[in-house]
Each structure stands twice: as C-alpha cells, then as structure tokens.
Amino acid sequence: MADPLAPALGVCYYPEHWPEEGWGREATRMADLGLRWVRVGEFAWSRLEPEPGRLAFDWLDRAIDTLAAAGLQVVLGTPTATPPKWLVDRYPEILPVGRDGRVRGFGSRRHVCFSSPAYRDETRRIVTLLAERYGGHPGVGAWQTDNEYGCHDTVRCYCPRCRSAFQDWLQQRYGTVEALNEAWWTVFWSQEVRDFGEIELPGQAVTESNPSHSLDFYRFASDQVVRYNRLQVDILRARSERPILHNTMGFFDHYDAFALAEGLDALAWDAYPLGMLEESPLPAAVKERYLRVGHPDLIGFNHDLLRGLKDRPFWVMEMQPGAVNWAKTNPLPADGAVRLWAHQAFAHGAEVVSYFRWRAALGAQELMHAGLELHDGRPAPASAEVRRVAAELAPVGGARPRVALLLDYEDLWATELQPHAEGWSYWGLQLAFYGVLRGLGVDVAVTHPDRDLTAFPLVVAPSLHLMDEARAQRLRRYVEGGGRLLLGPRSGAKTRSNLAQAPAPGPLRSLSGVRVDRVDALRPGVAGAVELADTVFGFTTWADLLDVDDASEPGAAQVLARYREPAYGGAAALTRRAVGKGACLTLGAWGDADLLSAVLRPLLAEAGVATTALPGGVRRSRVGRGALLNFGADDAAVDGVQVPGHGVTFLDPPE
C-alpha cells in the first residue's frame, strides 16, 4: 500500500506578462478556484537580467510574495530554456546546429547547445543567483530545472563542439579505436578510423549512417542532457531543501528519461490530451471518436511511465485547459473533459496537476492557446471544472501494480534506426500491449528492464532488442524465482553495440528455448494469421519465426501457436518454456488486440491478477485514487457500477 497522497492543483503563471497592479487580484482568484501551486519564472531571463550583469529580481520578489500572501506555493523555474538576445550576441557559440549544418538562431526558445562550455558557465551563474536568493524563501515550495529539455528537436546538435565532445565520449567508452572499430563493424564500406579525431557526427553522410555509430551518438546526446540537468540540480541542492523537478513531454524519446530522473526528486510531464491525439499516428476513425477527450491510453501510458521513472508519485506540470495552439488542428475539449483528465492523472498516482496557463496570452507564438482565464481576464469554461475537481480532491492511498511493462530508450533508438518495416514503431508496440492490459482493467507499471522485478508476478517485455549476458541473467533469475516473462518481437536481436546476435535471441536463447533465423516485415495494410488454441488471430508489421531448440528434450520450449503463412514453413509464433519456478513465453508476432488478449489472459490468471473486460473507452485505475474513467460519450457500467459519459466514478480504496 502506498503512502496516502494529498493531491493538489496548480497553474502556470507569467507575472512578467501582466500589469503588476493586477497580480494580487489574480492570486486571490487562483486561490479561490482551489489552486495551491503556481509555476513562475521559467522563461523570464530577459526580465531578470535585462543587460549583462544588471540584475532585476525585484519584480520576481514581489510576485512570489504576492502569490504567497494568497496562500499559494511557487514552483520556481530556472530560465535557461530562453537565453536573452544579449547573451546570444556575446556568445554566439551557444546556438545549436541542425543536422543540415545550419545554425539555429535566436527568435523562439531552446536555442542552446548542451555541449557549449559558455552556456554551461552562464547557466551556472544564473541558477546560482536564483538559488542563493530564493533557496530558503518560504513562498518557494519547489524548483523546476529549465523547461522541456529537447523540445523542437534540440537534443541532438551537430556543431563542432558536439563533434569534439562526442569523440571524447567515445574514447572514454571504448578506450581504443580498435575496440570502437570492432563494436561498430566499421570494416563494412571501409568505415574504419585510425583515431578518435577522425570520427564525424552521424546523419550527414550520402546515405544512412552506420547504425552503431548513430546509436552511440544518441547515447552521447542523451548523456549531455543528463549532465546539464545535473549541473543545475547540484547548484539548487546545495542551496535549497525544496524538491527539484523537471517537466518532460509525452512520448519524448531523444534522451533517456530514466537517467534524467536519477538526479531529481520527482518527474513531471506536460499533458495535452487533444494535441497529443491530433499528432498521433492513430487511425482517423479513432481520432474522430476521441476528438474532444483524447485517447485514454495515450494519456494513461505517459502517466504510468512518469510514475515508473522513479517509482513514486509524479506531477503534471502543464495540463491542457482548452484548445492548444501547436497541433495540426486544435479542437475544443468536450464538457467534462478537463475534469476527467485531472482525475485520470490522480488515479494513476499524480501528486499535483497544474494547468497551462492561467490567462491566455495576448501575443506571440502561443496567443491561440487557451488558459483558465480568457484574454481579457474573464473565467474560461474550464474554470468551473477545475473548481469542481478541487472540491473533489481527497487524501487517498493506492495499490501497487502487479504487472510490469518494460521500456528501454536504447531499445527504442536501435529499432527506430533500423525499423525494417514501414509500420514499425517502438511506442506503437508498447501501446498495443498496454492498451490490452488496460482494457482488461489491469494497473500497469512502466519500468526499466534492469530494475528489480521480483514484486511483479507478470512482466511484459514488448521488445527487449539490445541484449547482453548481464541483462539476460537478471531476467533468468526473475523467472527462476517464479516470475512469468512475456517477450515480444525483436527481443534479443542485437548486441549492446547494435550488431546482430548470431543467432538471435543471443543470451536470451537459454531462457526462452528458441532461435530466430528469419524475420518477416509486413507492408502496412497486410495482415498475417496465427493459430492459437484452435482459434485464428491476426498480426501485422512484424513476425519473428521461432524455432524451438531441442524440441524433443525434456525442458524444451512448448509451441503454443504457429503461423499459418505458407512462406513461414510452419514456424512457431508463440512458445513457452518452464524455467525454475516460473516461465518464459516468446511471442514473435506483433499481434492484434485479440491475439494479445488471448496470450495475456491466461498469464494474468496464473499470476493471480484479476481482470474485467471494460467497455470501449472506459478505464480503471487504483494506483492513486481509485476511479472508473469514461472517455466515451455514452454512460457505461462496470460490474454494476455506473460511470457517466465523459465522467468519473470514484472507487473505494483497495483493501
């Protein structure tokens, strides 16, 4: 049982955008609405330091004091996502360079290179000044480092400084250029290098770059972000006892969020359910169905990932209160959607839900984005729903999920570098398994494969692509101890340096009892067939053709399902091997929802995890405040409990 939570609401506020004489009235309205947290400052560098060395913190002093006087706690953001023009002019080398070699200039945000020594020095200076001034301020309850690292494709920079830093990173990783040449298999196409200084950045060659080269560059770029965040955290930690957070984005994958989370007290994410739906690859019919409420699993998956990054409550730092401005199309939410989204977050274990933004901006790039107040300061429609949510909040405990879904950003990078199938998507495969589990009413913990998994009777690994002996042995110990492990397509296909296992699944072979010599990548729109327990199911996109090792020997893997494709020669699609007290299953196909359900249901029953087939659009979560959440327009019932359309029904705490 988790510790009881006292969930709270907040909002993002920009006092520098509005006349100071109105700050007090706005703070009073925030508190009256039921808000308790206010994020400020994350884009305010030009107002905090209008000229080099001329500090103007007095307005921020008054803003924080005004908010605190109304009973509000401030999340103070460091302003490093938006360096002012004078700083760029003084240090033009801080500007990032795109893959095309062009400098990305001033005029928006995130115009910085994480490898820039000058920018790190300027970051150290401004964050230290903020920390020394506000580290013990009673009105500051938490810190946010920077804002949305990597948005607008800004993690991977292609400047000369990044090339030099990447070369140093590689030398530390491999030690010798001979080891690098072997790890990357540079003998192919005469890519061998004689020293680390010869190594270029990937992505700028005539055709595709060596995938091992690219994978290491992705690792390097992620490490630069983590290192930069650690710089800020260390400064704040030395001068303040307040918790430190960073706000990431839904499905953002240009850095390893597990690595970033290690230095923080909690993670936050910026949840825009309708914008995320519009930008997703979901079919048009699905987008139409969830047009004004968003898809429950797109949102829920990110909640569970954020909770899983540190296995603790998370924050939603920015929640959509109306139409956004940045998607291809930007519909209004349905009545009740804003309330539904808040309670979904709390049901998945959120500690704070904070809305973006308080008052709609009068100008610049985000003037079309809704706020809790309209452009003229009158309450927006969402305000009434937020007031209702605030009245419904209550301290609650939650149940720990008993099913884990394994995610590794390096697996994502490697498969996306060589998708091999047009429809391949690491996120898509994760969501396929996640959606089936959620549709069965099962709470899911999204976690890293190298974490301790013993608390989970069932572990689902949609695609453990990069595999070494150490990881395979950890998984084997989990299974031997009584766990059930389900491996999905492309598991164990590559080494950690992104070379082919010979044969696949490499070190997983002794655990799974199967060998993969052939794979099939299907064209979009083409489906195959799998026969399981006298029933035929469909699959798309990918198929590992499974051969059972020593099928006649005791302890060999059992074939539970076979492909019906003539080209596959009767290859197995699903196998099971008993290992110690547990079992390892391998599913070679990207199964449709019916196939995944047919595979998962008996495993859940074996694991003692109760299931309930939920109506379409309805989800149940008990990690935070237990709730049934209906993303459908029509009323529904689950086990005799009614849940209104676009509404919420709270459940009693689990025993």
Active site residues: 148, 318
Q: CA 492, CA 379: separation in Å to the nearest integer?
A: 54
Secondary structure letter of residue 103 according to DSSP: B
Residue 189: is it exposed, middle or buried by C-beta count within 10 angstroms (0-12/13-18/19+)?
Answer: exposed
Beta bridge partners of 528: 539
H, E, C per residue of 497-529 = CCCECCCECHHHHHHHCEEEEEEEECCCCCEEE
- How far apart (Å, rounded) are the C-alpha atoms in residues 430 and 358? 34
Q: Are 21 and 365 within 8 A, CB to CB?
A: no
For 324-355, b where at least 16 C-beta lie within 10 A, e where not — what string?
beebeebeebbebbbbbbbbbbbbbbbbbbbb
Strand 641-643 versus strand 636-638 pairing type: antiparallel
* Residue 471, preceding peptide bond in cis (omega within 30° of 0): no
Please tell me whether residue 578 adopts helix, strand or coil conformation.
Answer: strand
Q: At residue 392, what are phi and psi to the nearest 5 degrees?
A: -95, -10
- Which residue matches tokens 């990881």? 471
Measuring CA to CA, which residue among 32, 37, 39 is closest to residue 14?
Answer: 39
The answer to whether 249 and 151 are in contact (CB under 8 A) is yes
Tokens of residue 630, six digits? 């209906």
> Kind and range of the H or E element at 332?
none
Query: E strands, 193-289, where?
Result: 244-249, 266-271
C-alpha pair distances (Å), 339 with each of 268, 393, 535, 619: 19, 11, 42, 15
Tell me if 411 sits within 8 A of 467, measured CB to CB: no
The pairing of strands 314-319 and 582-587 is unpaired
| DSSP 8-state code for residue 588 | -
DSSP E strands: which ranges in 443-564?
Answer: 444-447, 458-461, 484-487, 514-521, 527-532, 535-548, 558-563
The torsion defined by the Cα of 423, 428, 429 and 433, in degrees rounded to 10, comes to: -140
Separation of alpha carbons 204 and 209, rounded Å: 8
Closest Cα partner for 78 from 236, 225, 234, 224? 236
Cα 566 to chain center, whole Å? 39
The answer to whether the beta carbons of residues 250 and 276 sit under 8 Å apart is: yes
Task: Tokens 């998607």: give the residue.
Answer: 327
Instruction: Determine the 3-state secondary structure of 554 from DSSP.
Output: coil
